């Protein structure tokens, strides 16, 4: 019996009880009851049963009784649910439910039968999400900070999809503005053998880009400055963006959309107007645009922003906020219900202005936009890039630590917690390394399966009542939790819950492995217990594999 099946049975009992009271003429307040109201918890103390419910404490007041009395009233009906061994009312009205062994163990067969689909749910069905993250300027290689947003953003997108949402991952290319001109000047200076200009970009990679540009335009140095700089800028930018995409793919992060900021500024050939122009008109139509001090403003303070924002300065130059507004409206026009921004710690001030922008555009800032702020990360032992000089490059990290260790470790913590990782631990093959601990548990399940096949043990029989060892009860209980963990991770945008859960499963599995045997010893004949334990072994491997996939981490067959 799954937690969902038990919750549904409780739902039927409570709703039927309410309807009976109404039919008897009792006054029962109208209130909608959902399955979420009947959510079960896993007791920390296993002596308190397999599942605990606070349903009596939630609904007793509505029925004019106290929680303990209501719990006692529905206990006989809960005990009558197929698969329930016993029910106990504790404290002020908690209901502790113990399943019989066969009902609890049935989850192993359900997991194996479900395969890759186990854990997936439809709790976010109908939600269309635009997930924007990383969005580093295309003026240099990706570094350690970008690495954290890449791992987190991709993992969030994966858990959202696993819960039924339609997700488009998007990289916003900041390819407009002064930084791009400075980038072009830096490349041109390197091509001429001159020092890096003021506000330019240093690093050996600039020299590499200059070499690429010179190969593409051999006469670059003979061109006037107003021709040479745009050529150096654009050719260098395309090459750098190509390298960024390659680094992300090596990190197993795929973006559905690369959105160029330049497209927001470009005038339509027919209308002569840009998306930024259209955005200003649309916000004006909403009544939120005004003019003051020779500038055009959006009155974002009406929606909680700390100050109003300028769209166009007095000299006619549009602001970054104008581009933000046009970009947000582009996402809205593409039909995304929710726009998620994952921004770095230095962008904390963007939360208020982006939410105010959403409200000014006619959206609900509590529904249609989420701004997640990630904190800084450092990796002890990591060396500064030889190419970029003053940063730790993603490519160097991948070579030193590996994609799996990086992705798992970066997704293992909440986005808003500062993070310090130990490179030596991440490279170690010990239980101190969380990703090794989890991956080793998976490879052990595959090793057991291979050895079982060699010994003639197969899943031809499943006797759930045989899985009665204490270590099996603990392991089965943790496997049942996976769908709820996935759903909660998606709801809260917290993939670290998946990682911590996998470590718990791995711990239960390692203990079970040391106490229960899938393979017969010596001349011991193969029994239904061996065959049934193989189901549990394979179910555990499936759950670990599914969980690691949600983090973008591989599940090795051998280690």
Question: Is residue 43 very low, low, confident or very high in pLDDT (cuts 50, 70, 90)?
Answer: confident
Give the three-state DSSP class for 420.
strand
Give the three-state DSSP class for 226.
helix
Cα 171–Cα 174–Cα 180 angle in degrees, nearest 5? 145
Highest average pLDDT, of 62-66, 91-95, 112-116, 311-315, comes from: 112-116
Query: What percentage of residues in the chain have a pLDDT greater than 90?
Result: 79
- pLDDT recorded at residue 29: 63
Name all domains of the chain by residue range, CATH numbers in brackets. Answer: 3-99 (3.30.1360.70), 178-250 (no CATH), 430-550 (1.10.730.10)
- pLDDT recorded at residue 518: 96
Model pLDDT for residues 313-329, shown as the tens digit of each residue = 999 899 999 999 999 99
* Cα 131 to Cα 336: distance, rounded to the nearest angstrom: 10
Greater pLDDT, 407 or 102: 407
- In this structure, how many other beta carbons lie within 10 angstroms of the beta carbon of residue 44? 7
Mean pLDDT of 67-74: 90
Pick left, alpha or beta for residue 41 (phi over 0 → left; psi -120 to 50 → alpha; otherwise beta): beta
H-run or E-run covering 360: helix 350-360
Mean pLDDT of 10-28: 80
Lowest mean pLDDT among 140-144, 241-245, 552-556: 140-144
Helix 470-480 to helix 496-515 angle, to the nearest 10 degrees? 160
Mean pLDDT of 376-398: 86
Backbone angles phi, psi at 173, to 5 degrees: -85, 110
DSSP classification of residue 176: S
CB contact set of 227 (below 8 Å; sequence gap of 6+): none
User: pLDDT at residue 386 above 90?
Assistant: no
Q: Is the pTM of this model over 0.75?
A: yes
Asked if 38 contacts 74 with a C-beta cutoff of 8 angstroms, the reply is no
Question: Is residue 389 very low, low, confident or very high in pLDDT (cuts 50, 70, 90)?
Answer: confident
Per the prediction, the chain carries an average pLDDT of 93
- pLDDT recorded at residue 32: 65
Residues for the chain: how many in total?
559
- pLDDT recorded at residue 31: 59
Six token digits for residue 25: 């003429």
* Cα 375 to Cα 348: distance, rounded to the nearest angstrom: 10
Closest CA to 406 of 543, 502, 499, 505: 499
Helix boundaries (H) for 415-527: 423-427, 434-455, 470-480, 482-492, 496-515
What's the maximum distance between 2 C-alpha atoms anywhere in the chain? 95
Helix 144-162 to helix 528-550 angle, to the nearest 10 degrees? 130
Model pLDDT for residues 275-312, shown as the tens digit of each residue = 999 999 999 999 999 999 999 999 999 999 999 999 99
H-run or E-run covering 9: helix 3-23
Mean pLDDT of 241-263: 97
- pLDDT recorded at residue 30: 61
- pLDDT recorded at residue 387: 78
3-class secondary structure per residue, 285-341: HCCCEEEECCEEEECHHHHCCCCCEEEECCCCCECHHHHHHHHHHHHHHCCCCEEEE
Question: Is residue 162 very low, low, confident or very high in pLDDT (cuts 50, 70, 90)?
Answer: very high
- pLDDT recorded at residue 28: 67
Query: What percentage of residues in the chain have a pLDDT greater than 70?
Result: 99
User: pLDDT at residue 179 above 90?
Assistant: yes
């Amino acid at each position: 019996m799954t937690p969902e099946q038990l919750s549904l049975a409780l739902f039927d009992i409570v709703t039927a009880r309410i309807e009976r009271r109404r039919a008897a003429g009792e006054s029962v307040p109208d209130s909608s009851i959902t399955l979420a109201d009947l959510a079960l918890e896993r007791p920390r103390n296993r002596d308190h049963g397999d599942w605990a419910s606070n349903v009596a404490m939630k609904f007793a007041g509505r029925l004019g009784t106290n929680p303990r009395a209501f719990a006692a009233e529905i206990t006989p009906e809960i005990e009558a649910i197929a698969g329930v061994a016993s029910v106990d009312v504790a404290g002020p009205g908690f209901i502790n439910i113990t399943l019989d062994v066969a009902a609890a163990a049935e989850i192993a067969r359900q997991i194996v039968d479900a395969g890759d689909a186990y854990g997936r749910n439809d709790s976010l069905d109908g939600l269309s999400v635009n997930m924007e993250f990383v969005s580093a300027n295309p003026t240099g290689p990706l570094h350690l900070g970008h690495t954290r947003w890449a791992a987190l953003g991709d993992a969030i997108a994966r858990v959202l999809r696993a819960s039924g949402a339609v997700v488009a991952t998007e990289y916003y290319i900041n390819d407009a503005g002064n930084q791009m001109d400075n980038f072009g000047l830096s490349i041109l200076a390197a091509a001429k053998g001159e020092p890096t200009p003021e506000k330019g970009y240093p690093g050996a990679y600039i020299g590499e880009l200059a070499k690429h540009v010179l190969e593409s335009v051999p006469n670059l140095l003979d061109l006037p400055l107003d021709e040479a700089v745009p050529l150096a800028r654009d050719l260098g930018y395309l090459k750098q963006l190509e390298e960024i995409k390659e680094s992300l793919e090596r990190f197993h992060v795929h973006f559905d959309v690369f959105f160029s900021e330049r497209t927001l500024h470009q005038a339509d050939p027919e209308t002569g107007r840009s998306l930024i122009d259209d955005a200003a008109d649309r916000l004006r139509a909403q009544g939120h645009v005004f003019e003051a001090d020779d500038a055009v403003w959006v009155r974002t303070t009406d929606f909680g922003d700390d100050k109003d924002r300028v769209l166009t300065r007095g000299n006619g130059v549009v602001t970054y906020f104008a581009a933000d507004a046009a970009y947000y409206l582009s996402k809205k026009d593409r039909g995304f219900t929710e726009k998620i921004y994952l921004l770095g710690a230095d962008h904390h001030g963007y939360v208020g202005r982006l939410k105010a922008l959403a409200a000014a555009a006619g959206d609900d800032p509590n529904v249609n936009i989420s701004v997640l702020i990630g904190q800084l990360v450092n990796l002890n032992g990591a060396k500064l890039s030889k190419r970029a000089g003053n940063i730790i490059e993603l490519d160097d990290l991948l070579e030193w630590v590996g994609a799996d260790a990086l992705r798992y470790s970066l997704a293992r913590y909440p986005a808003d917690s500062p993070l310090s990782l130990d490179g030596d631990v991440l490279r170690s093959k010990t239980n101190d390394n969380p990703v090794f601990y989890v991956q080793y548990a998976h490879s052990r399940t595959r090793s057991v399966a291979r050895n079982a096949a060699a010994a003639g043990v197969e899943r031809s029989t499943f006797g759930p009542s045989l899985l009665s060892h204490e270590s099996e009860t603990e392991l089965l209980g943790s496997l049942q939790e996976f769908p709820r963990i996935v759903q909660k991770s998606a709801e809260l945008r917290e993939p670290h819950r998946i990682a911590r859960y996998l470590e718990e499963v791995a711990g239960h599995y390692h203990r079970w492995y040391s106490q229960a045997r899938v393979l017969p010893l010596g001349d011991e004949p193969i029994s239904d217990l061996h065959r049934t334990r193989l189901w549990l072994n394979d179910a555990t491997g499936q759950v670990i594999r599914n969980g690691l996939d949600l983090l973008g981490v591989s599940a090795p067959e051998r280690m």
